[in-house]
Amino acid sequence: MSAEGEGEGVSGGGEGEGEEVSGGERDFGTGERPGSSALRGAGRVPRERPEWAAGVRPGHRPLLPVVTADAVAREESARTAERLAARSRERPGDQWPEHVRALRERAAHIRRETLDDLESHLGALTARVTEHGGTVHRAATAADATAVVRRIAAEHGARLVVKSKSMVAEEIGLNPALEADGIEVVETDLGEYIVQLGDERPAHIIAPAAHLSRADVARRFDALAGAEQAQRPRDHSASALAGFARARLRADFRRADMGVTGVNFAVAETGTLALVTNEGNADMVTSQPRVHVAVMTPEKVVPRLADLGVLLPLLSHAGAGQRATVYQTLLNGPRRDGEADGPDALHLVIVDNGRHRILGTKYEDVLACIRCGACQTACPVFRTLGGGHAYGSVYGGPVGAVLAPLLDEHPGDAELPYLSSLCGACADVCPVRIPLPDMLVDLRADHAASRRGPAAAAWHAWSVLWSSRAGYLASLAGTAVAARALPRRALAALPAARRWARGRTLPDLRAAGRLRRAVRRTAGRGSRAARHRDLP
């Protein structure tokens, strides 16, 4: 899905052919092989994002609570929260329109049916794609996958690569890997392009620049154009900004040696690769360059072509509130004899990168995810963090908080399941019914179990104390005594109280046990009756 949500309604696409291509192209008429037109001047774009949001994940990552505290404090965060909240209000929680509700149930079933027999669907997909003249590669790890793509690029002498949105490419670090070989990679999804210019990671699965306002985008584009006034966006309206990006990108589409895309769904029955965008950039990336490399994870496979009739409209609805995206691209192999466009070669790279470890576990359902980003938009925690770089993982928001620890790429990701108030909004909006809050709770349990220590022992002792009436009442009495004996300042120095008091006044713990005394006074008969039913 495309950059449906960058800032205040900047949206690409949809213009007629034949628009004057400004700037870029005339510089590259003859002679020296040109570089990217879209990225020319990118060095002038200021790096406004914090270090933890950088395009290449920094080697050192501060503790998550430190990162989130910084993220909340950023000026942009409140504005982003408001934008995403407004989007959520348009598509409230569990209020699924009747026709979409039926799709949702069907899709949830299709996704699980697929996961039950993933390898056989992948086998069928591989056979069909090969029959069509494509080449299928299986990669176990991120390094394997990038090695495959680098080899393909080298074989075809690729110097300029245009890319359509792909989260798995982010996951495996494809851009830096290609750039290390001296290849220029240009993001052609408008939101991805905007974040690429600022050397940032995408902030949201389908709205990579959701954390930026129109003014932020204008600032980046102005810096990109630099002193060349004629190239600057004519004004800072959404359409002018989109037009500027379009003109910049168009030259690259024409000149690129290789196109890289993700895959929204891959049909086992027919070998069809399905891509959806609102900007048409996937059509350009897959039709103009000589080589098309599509990167997907195994679970993107669907059994039948007819399943697209369920999944594509559902994806559009859940992701962007659309009945259908503007473009739906269905590819069946490279260009055949007599066809007008399309690549000479098509490579499909299926990257596992840890998914096989999730299959067959209680977390298998997370692989049903269709990357609509609805859980991110709905999540008040994600919103509060100003659009989500603060998760530190490639996939932010609730699905990222589940997936990242399972992929086990960074030890810090184990903290992500705690970065949720367990409000459940993500489960309400999930189009394929993934029980994300339950998974977050289970992941917390796994995390706690992996580090048996004083905390686990304390919880154990506490539960023993609190599963007896005497122990419980004693702890209430003790709390009240401590609350009365200690000055408030001393109480506020205790770890939990200190964290609470960071932004809130402390509740009065002297109230501990007051309820019991009041009940004894007012409901003596009732509580005597109850005593007979107490535990032996």
Which of positions 486-515 make contact with another protein (CB under 8 A)?
496, 499-500, 502-509, 511-515
Among positions 9, 46, 157, 526, the unique one binding another protein when judged by CB under 8 A: 526
CB of 233 within 8 A of CB of 30? no
Using CB under 8 A as the binding criterion, the count of chain residues that bind another protein stands at 78
Q: Which of 101, 362, 460, 484 binds another protein (CB under 8 A)?
A: 460
The answer to whether 452 contacts another protein (rule: CB under 8 A) is no
- Answer yes or no whether residue 380 interacts with another protein by CB under 8 A: yes
Two tokens, residue 58: 């920094």
Question: Smallest distance, Å, CB 409 to another protein?
Answer: 21
SS3 187: strand
Query: Which ranges constitute the DSSP H helices of 268-360?
Result: 281-287, 308-320, 355-358
Site for another protein in 65-104 (CB under 8 A): 65, 68-69, 72-73, 77-78, 81, 85, 88-89, 92-94
Out of 127, 140, 306, 445, name the contact with another protein by CB under 8 A: 445
- Tokens 């995403």 sit at which residue? 84
DSSP state for residue 326 in the 8-state scheme = S
Those residues with Cβ within 8 angstroms of residue 74's Cβ, 6 or more apart along the chain or in another chain: 50, 386
> What are residue 137's DSSP bridge partners?
349
Instruction: Supply the minimum distance, in Å, between the C-beta of residue 320 and another protein.
Output: 21
> Measured from the CB atom, is 143 or 448 closer to another protein?
448
To 5 degrees, how large is the angle CA 149–CA 52–CA 184?
30
- Nearer CB in complex with another protein: 230/535: 535
Identified binder of another protein from the candidate list 150, 479, 482, 488, rule CB under 8 A: 479
Give how far Cα 313 sits from Cα of 320, 323, 517, Å: 10, 6, 59
Name residues contacting another protein, limited to 28-67 (CB under 8 A): 65
Q: Which is nearer to another protein, 33 or 504 (CB)?
A: 504
Question: How far is residue 313's CA from residue 323's CA, in Å, rounded to a whole number?
Answer: 6
Please list every residue from 227 through 266 that binds another protein, using CB under 8 A.
Answer: none
Among 318, 381, 399, 402, binds another protein (CB under 8 A): 381
| Residue 335 DSSP code | P
Minimum CB distance to another protein, residue 414 (Å): 11
Contacts to another protein from residues 407-426, by CB under 8 A: 418-425
In the complex, the smallest distance separating the C-beta of residue 97 from another protein, rounded to whole angstroms, is 18
The 8-class DSSP code of residue 59 comes to S
Whose CA is closest to 359, among 109, 136, 111, 107?
Answer: 111
